[in-house]
Structure 1
Amino acid sequence: MPIENQGDIDLCLFIEPYCEDYWMKPGEALTVRSEAEGIDVWFDTYISKGCVTVWLYEDGDPRKIVDDYTVIDAGGQRLDSGHQRPRGQRWSAAGPSID
């Protein structure tokens, strides 16, 4: 699932239920890719101010969370949670607090 920041501010890609965050600069693109084999992975996506939240489910069943995934940049490099996280970023129960 490719995600591109076409805006003019940093954009957070937030992967649930693990609260992993990956930050994109304007014009940057990341891809969320399932590493699970032999299953049909569905991506459930929610958009909020400055944030795209993604859940990965097996066969679209929210009781079957897929936890074997990778986030990669446009060059194919695997990224760790916290990629380009802004200094002093605040959090709430729903994810990053975007002002």
Structure 2
Amino acid sequence: MARSRMPAKNMGASELCLFIEPYGEDYWLNPGEAFTVGPETEGIDVWFDTYVSTDCITVWLYEDGDPAKVVLDCVVVDADGTRLDCGHQRPPRLANPDPA
């Protein structure tokens, strides 16, 4: 695992939200799943600031550990290395209601 990558694994019995800031992107892990978050650009030194709450891990990425240098472009991949889109496996109960 590269230094500028952070793995997250759901060891619980229900879905877990991996919430990436500053854009509020959500990725949902089912029990037993593992995702990895890192910068889009290789070669930069990224530090991770994590906050854990019930059923959610919030992550901020900072270049060189400097909170003034927020990494805006990051990627989240699954255990096979497949890049995931924001909202991956979002539970239907959290989907936007039909405005009609």
Same fold by TM-score, threshold 0.5 exceeded? yes
**Are 1:3 and 2:8 an aligned pair?**
yes
**Are 1:67 and 2:72 an aligned pair?**
yes
Find the aligned partners of 1:47 and 1:28 in 2 and give their Cα distance: 17
Structure having the larger proportion of residues in strand: 1
Find the aligned partners of 1:37 and 1:72 in 2 and give their Cα distance: 15
Larger radius of gyration: 2
Find the aligned partners of 2:42 and 2:28 in 1 and give their Cα distance: 27
Corresponding residue SS for 1:54: strand
Find the aligned partners of 2:13 and 2:81 in 1 and give their Cα distance: 23
Quick one: which amino acid aligns to residue 15 of structure 2?
D
Deviation at 1:82, TM superposition (A): 0.2
Quick one: which amino acid aligns to residue 4 of structure 1?
K
Find the aligned partners of 1:35 and 1:62 in 2 and give their Cα distance: 18
Find the aligned partners of 1:44 and 1:88 in 2 and give their Cα distance: 28
Question: Which stretches in structure 1 are left out of the alignment for 5+ residues?
Answer: 91-99
Quick one: which amino acid aligns to residue 44 of structure 2?
I
Structure 1's 39 and 83: CA in aligned 2 closer, same or farther, altered over 3 A? same
Question: Which stretches in structure 2 are left out of the alignment for 5+ residues?
Answer: 1-5, 96-100
The aligned residue for residue 45 of structure 1 is 50
